[in-house]
Structure 1
Amino acid sequence: MKNLVIVESPAKAKTISKFLGSDYVVMASMGHVRDLPKSKLGFDPADNFKPKYLVSTDKKKVISDLKKQISKDTTIYLAADEDREGEAIAWHLIPALKIENNPIKRIVFHEITKDAIMKALENPRDVDQHLVDAQQARRILDRAVGYELSPLLWKKVRYGLSAGRVQSVAVKIIVDRENEIREFKPEEYWKIKSEFIDPELKSELAKENGSNVKVTNEAQARVIEASLKQGSFVLNDIEEKDSKRNPAAPFTTSTLQQEASRKLGYSVKQTMIIAQQLYEGNVGNIPGHTGGLITYMRTDSLNLSKVATSAAKEVIEAQYGKEYSLDKPRAYKSKAKGAQEAHEAIRPVNLALKPSEIKDHVDNSQYKLYSLIWKRTLATQMAPAKIANTTYKIKAGKSEEFEFQTKGQRIIFPGFMKAYTEGSDNPESALDSTEKILPTIKVGTVLNLNKLDLEQLFTKPPARYTEASLVKKLESEGIGRPSTYAPTISTIQQREYVVKTEDKKLEPTPTGEIVNTFLADHFSDIVNLGFTAKIEEEFDDIAEGKIAWEQVMHEFYGGFKKTIEEKEETVNKEDYLQVREIGTDPKSGKPMSARVGRFGPFVQIGTKDDEEKPQFVAIPDHLNMDTITMEEALFLFTLPRVVGHTAEGEEIKANIGRFGPYLQVKTKYYSLKTDDPYTVEEDRALVVIKEIDEAKAKATIKNFEKEKIQVLIGQYGPYIKQGRKNFKIPKGKVAEDLTLEECEEIIAKDPKSKTAAKKAPAKKAPAKKPAAKKTTAKKTTTKKAPAKKTTAKKSTPKT
Structure 2
Amino acid sequence: MAKNLVIVESPAKAKTIEKFLGKDFQVESSFGHIADLPSKEIGIDVEGDFMPKYIVSTDKKAVVKKLKDLAKKVDTVWLASDEDREGEAIAWHLFEQLKLKDTNTKRIVFHEITKKAILKAVENPRSIDYNLVNAQQARRVLDRLVGYELSPVLWRKIKGGLSAGRVQSVAVRLIVEREREITSFKPVASYKVVAEFSNSEGKKFKANLPKNFKTKKDAEAFLNSCIAADFKVDDLQKKPAKKSPAAPFTTSTLQQEASRKLYFPVAKTMMMAQRLYEAGLITYMRTDSVNLSDDAKINAQEEITSSYGAEYSKPRSFSNKTKGAQEAHEAIRPTDMSTHTVSVDYDQDRLYDLIWKRTLASQMSDAQLERTNVKISNSNNKTIFTANGEMIKFDGFLKVYLEGTDNEDEEQDGMLPNLTIGDLLSNENIIATERYSRPPYRYTEASLVKRLEELGIGRPSTYAPTISTIQRREYVVKGAIDGVDRDYTQIILSNDKVVSEVLTEKVGSDKGKIVPTDIGNIVNDFLVENFSNVLDFGFTAKVESEFDDIAEGKEDWIEMIKDFYKTFHPIVEDVAANAERAKGERLLGIDPDSGKNVYARLGRFGAMVQIGEATDEEKPKFASLQGDQTLTTITYEEAMDLFKLPKTIGEYEDVDVIVASGRFGPYIKFDKMFVSIPRDENPMSVDLNRAIELIKEKQEADAPIGTYEDLPIQKGVGRFGPFIKWNSMFINVNKKYDFDNLTRENLVELIEDKKRKEIEKVIHNWEEEGIRVEKARWGRFNILKGKIKIELPKTVDATKLTLEEVKGIIEKKAPKKKTTKRKTKKK
Smaller-chain TM-score bracket: 0.7 to 0.9
Q: Report Cα offsets for 1:426-485 as digits up to 9, x if no partner.
A: 1221356xxx22111221122111111111100110100100011111111111001001
Partners of 1:390 and 1:407 lie apart in 2 by: 6
> Which residue number corresponds to residue 282 of structure 2?
294
| Cα distance change on mapping 1:259 and 1:653 into 2, 3 Å | same
Q: 1:662 to 1:33 in 2, by over 3 A?
A: farther
* Contact 2:364–2:396 (8 Å) recurs in 1: yes
1:227–1:397 Cα contact (<8 Å) kept: no
**Alignment pair present for 1:548 and 2:553:** no
Q: What amino acid is the match of 1:593? A: Y
The secondary structure found in structure 1 opposite 2:433 is strand
Aligned letter for 1:473?
Answer: R
* Change beyond 3 A, Cα 1:39–1:246: same
**Contact 2:193/2:212, CA 8 A, preserved across alignment:** no
Show the counterpart of 1:267: 265
| C-alpha distance after superposition, 1:385-431 (max 9, x if no partner) | 111000111012524x1100111111111111111111101122135
8 Å contact 2:207–2:385 — kept in the other structure? yes
**Of residues 654, 660, 666 in structure 2, which corresponds to 1:655?**
660
SS in 2 for 1:239: strand
Give the 3-state SS of the residue equivalent to 1:540 in structure 2. helix
Q: Which residue of 1 aligns with 2:114?
A: 113
How far residue 687 of structure 1 moved from its aligned partner, in angstroms, is 9.9
User: Does residue 508 of structure 2 align to residue 504 of structure 1?
Assistant: no
**Structure 2 equivalent of residue 97 of structure 1:** 98
> By how many angstroms is 1:526 displaced?
1.4
Instruction: Determine the C-alpha separation between the residues in 2 that align with 1:295 and 1:58.
Output: 31
CA distance in 1, matches of 2:791, 2:385: 84
**Equivalent residue number for residue 141 of structure 2:** 140
Q: Following TM superposition, by how much is the alpha carbon of 1:689 offset from its aligned partner in structure 2, in angstroms?
A: 10
**Secondary structure in 1 aligned to 2:47?**
helix
Q: Counterpart amino acid of 1:312?
A: A
Query: Which of 451, 465, 474 is the equivalent residue of 2:429?
Result: 451
Q: Any idea what the Cα deviations from partners look like across 1:137-185, whole Å, max 9, x if unmatched?
A: 0000000000000000111111111110000111111111111111111
Identify if the C-alpha distance between structure 1 residues 681 and 201 changes in structure 2 by more than 3 Å, giving closer, same or farther. Answer: closer
Tell me, yes or no, if structure 1 residue 428 matches structure 2 residue 409: yes
Residue equivalent to 2:538: 530
Q: Distance in 1 between matches of 2:57 and 2:641?
A: 51
- Cα deviations by residue, 1:43-101 (Å, 9 ceiling, x for unpaired): 11222101111102221222122233222544211110010000001101122222247
Give distance in 2, aligned partners of 1:465 and 1:267.
13
Report deviation, 1:296: 0.3
Aligned with 1:243 (options 241, 253, 261): 241
Partner of 1:514: 522
Quote the offset at 1:610 in angstroms. 2.1
1:644–1:681: 8 Å Cα contact kept in structure 2? no
Please report how far the alpha carbon of residue 663 of structure 1 lies from its aligned counterpart in structure 2 after TM superposition. 7.1
The aligned counterpart of 2:495 is none
Which stretch has the larger CA shift, 671-680 or 380-389? 671-680
Aligned to 1:164: 165
Give the CA deviation at 1:664: 7.1
Cα shift readout 1:309-333 (whole Å, capped 9, x = no counterpart):
001111111111111112xx31111
Please say if 1:628 is aligned against 2:634: yes
Q: How does 1:742-757 map to 2 (within 5 A)?
A: none
- State the secondary structure of the residue aligned to 1:109: coil
Question: What amino acid is the match of 1:342?
Answer: A
Does structure 1 conserve the Cα–Cα contact (< 8 Å) formed by 2:9 and 2:29? Answer: yes
Q: Give the structure 2 partner of residue 256 of structure 1.
A: 254
Q: Is the 8 A contact 1:387 1:412 kept in 2?
A: yes
Distance 1:226 1:661 in 2: 52
The 1:446/1:571 distance shift into structure 2, 3 A limit, reads: same
In the alignment, structure 1 residue 406 sits paired with structure 2 residue 387: yes
The equivalent residue for 2:733 is: none
User: Is 2:598 the counterpart of 1:612?
Assistant: no
Contact 1:423 1:431 in 2 (8 A): no
The 1-side partners of 2:692 and 2:429 are apart by: 55
SS for the counterpart of 2:62 is helix
Q: Does 1:201 align with 2:204?
A: yes
Instruction: Tell me how far apart the structure 2 counterparts of residues 732 and 92 of structure 1 sit (CA, whole Å).
Output: 33
Structure 2 CA distance, aligned partners of 1:732 and 1:59? 22
SS state at 2:371 partner: strand
Maintained 8 Å contact 2:241/2:369: yes
CA distance in 1, matches of 2:444, 2:369: 31
Partner of 1:311: 299
Question: Is 1:330 paired with 2:316?
Answer: yes
SS of residue matched to 1:43:
coil
Q: How far apart are residue 584 of structure 1 and its match?
A: 1.4
Quick one: structure 1 residues 53 and 672, their matched pair in 2 at CA, closer, same or farther if it must change by over 3 Å?
farther
- AA aligned to 1:362 is V
Residue 228, structure 1, aligned to residue 226, structure 2: yes
Pick 1 or 2: higher relative contact order, CA cutoff 8 A, min separation 6: 1
Conservation of the 8 A alpha-carbon contact between 1:662 and 1:669: no
Cα 1:137–1:655 shift into 2, 3 Å = same
What is residue 344 of structure 1 aligned with on the other side?
330
Residue segments in structure 1 that go unaligned for 5+ positions in a row:
208-212, 282-291, 700-712, 717-730, 737-746, 752-799
**Matches of 2:76 and 2:403, distance apart in 1:** 47
How many equivalent pairs are there?
A: 680
Q: 1:367 aligns with which of 341, 345, 349?
A: 349
Q: What letter is aligned with 1:236?
A: D
Residues 684, 323 of structure 1: CA spacing in aligned structure 2 closer, same or farther, 3 A cutoff?
closer
Structure 2 equivalent of residue 381 of structure 1:
363
1:279-315, Cα deviation, whole Å (9 max, x unpaired): 011xxxxxxxxxx110000000011001000011111
SS of 1:70's equivalent in the other structure is helix
Distance across 1 between alignment mates of 2:252 and 2:120: 29
- RMSD, aligned α-carbons: 2.9
Aligned-partner residue type, residue 137 of structure 1? A
Q: Would you say the 8 A contact 1:644–1:682 is kept in 2?
A: no
The one-letter code matched in structure 1 to 2:229 is G
When normalised by structure 2's length, the TM-score is: 0.78
Paired residues of 1:200 and 1:439 also in contact (CA < 8 A): yes
Partners of 1:121 and 1:333 lie apart in 2 by: 30
Q: Mind listing any 5+ residue stretches in structure 2 that lack a counterpart? A: 481-510, 712-726, 730-754, 756-789, 796-804, 810-827
The 3-state SS of whatever aligns with 2:194 is strand
- Confirm or deny that 1:61 pairs with 2:71: no
Provide closer, same or farther for how the CA distance between residues 108 and 528 of structure 1 changes in structure 2, counting only shifts above 3 A: same
Task: Say which SS state the counterpart of residue 20 (structure 2) adopts.
Answer: coil
Task: Judge conservation of contact 2:626–2:661 (CA < 8 Å) in 1.
Answer: no
1:471-523 Cα offsets, whole Å, 9 max, x none, are 11111111100100100010010010110123211101111111111111010
Report what 2:30 is aligned to: 29
State the distance in 2 between where 1:112 and 1:593 align.
Answer: 59
CA distance in 2, matches of 1:735, 1:417: 53
Q: Return the alpha-carbon distance in structure 1 between the equivalents of residues 323 and 551 of structure 2.
A: 14
Q: State the identity %.
A: 50
Offset at residue 27 of structure 1 (A): 1.0
CA contact (8 A) 1:477 1:529 kept: yes
Q: In structure 1, which of residues 595, 598, 603 is the aligned counterpart of residue 604 of structure 2?
A: 598
How many angstroms apart in 2 are the aligned matches of 1:687 and 1:444? 63
> Which position in structure 2 is the counterpart of 1:720?
none
Would the alpha carbon gap of residues 613 and 686 (structure 1) be closer, same or farther in structure 2, given more than 3 Å must change? farther
Partners in 2 of 1:299 and 1:735 — Cα distance?
Answer: 43
Match of 1:460 in 2: 438
In the alignment, is the contact (CA less than 8 A) between 2:371 and 2:390 conserved in 1? yes
CA distance in 2, matches of 1:46, 1:58: 30
Alignment correspondent of 2:152:
151
Distance 1:35-1:323 versus aligned 2 partners, 3 A rule: same
Does the Cα contact within 8 Å between 2:610 and 2:621 map onto a contact in 1? Answer: yes
One-letter code of the match for 1:419? V
Q: 1:418 to 1:97 in 2, by over 3 A?
A: same
Give, in angstroms, the shift of residue 629 of structure 1: 2.4
Measure the CA separation in 1 of the matches of 2:603 and 2:699: 31
Structure 1: distance between partners of 2:460 and 2:587: 45
CA 693–381 in structure 1, closer or farther in 2 if over 3 Å, else same: closer
Amino acid at match of 1:369: L
